[in-house]
Amino acid sequence: MSGVHEMTAVELAACYRKKELSPVEAANAALARIDAWEPKINAMFLVDRDGAHEQARASEARWRRGEPLGPLDGVPITLKENVATKGVPTPIGTAAADLSVKAPTDAPPAARVREAGCVILGKTTMPDFGMLASGVSSLHGITRNPWDTRRNTAGSSSGAGVALAAGYGPIALGTDIGGSVRLPAAYNGVFALKPSLGRVPINPPFLGRVTGPMSRTVRDAALLLNELSKPDARDYMNLPYDGADYAAHLESDVKGLKIGLMLDIGVGTRPTAEVAAAVEAAARLLQGAGASIEPVKPFMTQEIMDGLDRFFQARALSDLMLMPAERQARVLPFIVAWCRRAEGLSAVDLIRAFNQIPAMRERAVASCQPFDFVLSPTSPITAYEAELPCPGGDPAKPFEHIAFTAPFNQSEQPAASINCGYGSDGMPIGLQIIGHRFDDAGVLRLARAYEAMRPTQKPWPQP
């Protein structure tokens, strides 16, 4: 059915309710897009056709009885490869993984979307260990940007961002520990929310790591967050469940809001003129709707960013060293070169590196405190070359393009990326919206307000 692959989750549910469309037809449309696009963009680790058809038929029967499980029943979804699903390997992007080891159960986010009746199409690609924010993997190969297949997808939710732009369903699950849902959203022209730490239960929980809803529209992401935020006892760091309906009160007035504008965070790559202009144009739209806009001073230092880099080097090295030598040899050489930089660090060096994380958190929270929200570029650049594991390809400088996103993982603040324009090369530009801790609802409302006033978006790319 023509156009089904571009429908939102809200639109699909409305059609199911009116019996104008069935979940089986929606699943078939998404699978057809996968067939058309995959040879060019390589976004999928696994496509579960049989499982998707079975789930879609069950959803169709529920809708016919007038007993859907909820507003996402029958909506096609993709899950990032590292979000465990029962009976499927979780190799975290690396060829060094043992693919014979399969997950014994669904991770909390996978369990929630299954309970909601979503049709799980399969698992999307990610780079080795989820590190360095690219679409390059020793296991999956190169995942390419559908807006221009010569360009990178960012990462580590690389396949998830691509799947949305290519029409593999209106919603997706990604994970984010330094920008990994927001950066692919920016490079692929879609929406993503990095929730407050603990808002979405995960297993196992880890410092700064979240699962976030990704989508083509803010409302679809809010509906998905309603499901993802439901409690799960396996996450001992999760926030108390408050039963909030994030989609119920999305429409809001920005009049009177005090919004900070940060175009320089103090480290990393400076925004290009086109990126800065697009973010400033977004701020002017909000200002024209009644918000006040004030500049935010840079708060990051190179010492803090280097500390985060060393901490993640050591973390990845510890995982690498648990593997036999023959399996270590299969890891992407760039990742090996990067994490082996930690081999010369002493225990004191590591503690000093780790201590930069609370320093980052303190500065991020203090920088945002005077404002209701802060705007910044998601990435200072548009998508770089597809074959590179980071801009420039230098393992000594892997974090230059994530300086605007990484601090807000460690500060536990909610932050979203929404498309705010296109470069002269036609590639999407992401606007980051940062809120106070626990104000996920506020970030979604401001994102929806901007979505309603932004210029008309370009048509989605076609295979």
- Residue 63, phi then psi, degrees to nearest 5: -65, -40
Catalytic residue among 134, 137, 157, 180: 180
**Structural Rg of the chain based on CA atoms:** 21
Residue 380 has which token pair? 């200072």
Catalytic, 180? Answer yes
Looking at residue 455, what DSSP letter applies?
A: P
Q: Are 168 and 43 in contact (CB under 8 A)?
A: yes
The strand ranges marked E within 100-239 are 119-124, 136-137, 141-142, 171-176, 191-194, 210-215
State whether residue 361 is helix, strand or coil: helix
Separation of alpha carbons 198 and 38, rounded Å: 34
Separation of alpha carbons 197 and 437, rounded Å: 8
Catalytic residue among 59, 134, 137, 156: 156
Identity of the amino acid at 266: G
Alpha helices in 322-379 (DSSP H): 325-328, 333-339, 347-368
Residue 132 has which token pair? 């360095």
Other beta carbons within 10 angstroms of residue 350's beta carbon come to 17
Catalytic residue among 59, 80, 123, 376: 80
What residues act catalytically? 80, 156, 180
